[in-house]
Amino acid sequence: MDDLSQWVPWNYYKPLLPFYKCYMADKEHTVLYVSAKTGEIIQETKRLERWSARLGAIPHWIYFKQLRSLEKTWRLVVIILASLGILMTVTGIYAGVIRYRKRSKNSITPYKKFWYKWHHITGFFFGFFVFTFVLSGLISVSSIPDWMVGVKKSDKVKVGWNQKLDLRMHHHTTPWNIYKALDNKDGVRKIEWKSVLGQAQYHVYYEDYQKPDVYTLYNDSVISQRPYSMSDIQSQANILLGQIPFSIQEQFTYDNYYAGSGMIYLPQPAYKIMVDDVANTWLYIDPASGEAVKTLTRNTRLRRWLYRFLHTLDIPMLKKMDGLRKTILVLLCLMGLAISVTGFVIGIKWFKRNLGW
């Protein structure tokens, strides 16, 4: 394959083209996309997952290959559709409240006809959910202006921690030298070269592909990286942050802002550095490597609530009871579907009545 496909539509995979599309002879009808340049498996799909995506993820995110490959156009389409959705829900809620005031005392709606009545009832009780869902969808593809969180662009200071890969730090190290130094040589899947806090590092991934074993280069020899202590990180923060005040603490548990998931690994414990800059930057440092595994500002913390909470009910209490969270989401989405279907039918009837369809 010399171009992206429906199942690999993202532009950041273009440098890995061409792909080999491999059909596996298994019961799940697995298809693998393998980069010819690196040998990495870029995507894995199974037949049931492909059908699920066709009915769910692709129309939900408008992930049609021809459109998704045009990043700016795709983003503009989502913004326009979401903005129209917000306009429709706001005007619908307003109209619903006005109509509610005109109901009889013994009824919750003034309408008698089936479609009108149920559109008004579902919209009155669940219209706000539809509004928050569309709003959070809009926020997912657009940025929150800094003025909304009281930050002036001219006052912002870039807080840098992680470094780009500098091959000069790695001297004449070869993959074979790294492999010979590994404590566990079985099941190695990936060795990632890094530059962290002025040192050459090698992150070795195994079957689980989550938490890597960390090695570093010392006197031209590859050795296991000693975990960083809080005083080590504090010393590095003094160097990197200069005169900017900060505080540091060790965080042992996940919370509203720092939480791993099935796809994203975040280590526990972590060192949390709270920087006293205009953006109130928080850095979460992995003790094993010294890397900042997550960076949050006042802006991104607000975005966390306006997107992840409103769109997926992502709060620790419900995350601990994921079945309940998903059940609530499904029920709310069904109510949103009822609002959409009844509204669509009413719209068709209006066009037929007024335009002679």
pLDDT score, position 27: 94
- Report phi then psi at 159, rounded to 5: -100, 105
pLDDT score, position 357: 66
At residue 206, what is the residue type? Y
The CA-based diameter of the chain, rounded to the nearest angstrom, is 85
In sign, the C-alpha dihedral spanning 112, 115, 116, 117 is positive
Q: Residue 212 half-sphere exposure, CB side, CA atoms within 13 Å? A: 23
Taking CA 346 as the corner, what is the angle to CA 341 and CA 347, rounded to the nearest 5 degrees? 95
Environment class of 80 (CB within 10 Å of its CB; exposed 0-12, middle 13-18, buried 19+):
exposed
Alpha-carbon distance of 173 to 188, in angstroms, equals 18
Alpha-carbon distance of 238 to 244, in angstroms, equals 9
Alpha-carbon distance of 357 to 353, in angstroms, equals 7
Task: Give the chain's radius of gyration (CA, Å).
Answer: 26
Q: Mind listing the pLDDT tens digit of every residue in the chain (357 residues)? A: 899 889 998 888 999 999 999 999 999 999 999 999 988 899 999 999 999 999 999 999 999 988 988 889 999 999 999 999 999 999 999 999 998 888 877 788 888 899 999 999 999 999 999 999 999 999 999 888 877 777 776 566 678 899 999 999 988 889 899 999 999 999 898 899 999 999 999 999 998 778 899 999 988 899 999 999 999 999 999 999 988 999 999 999 988 899 877 678 899 999 999 999 888 999 999 999 999 999 999 999 999 999 999 999 988 788 888 899 999 999 999 999 999 999 999 999 888 888 766
Choose among 92, 66, 90: nearest CA to 343.
92
Alpha-carbon distance of 68 to 9, in angstroms, equals 6
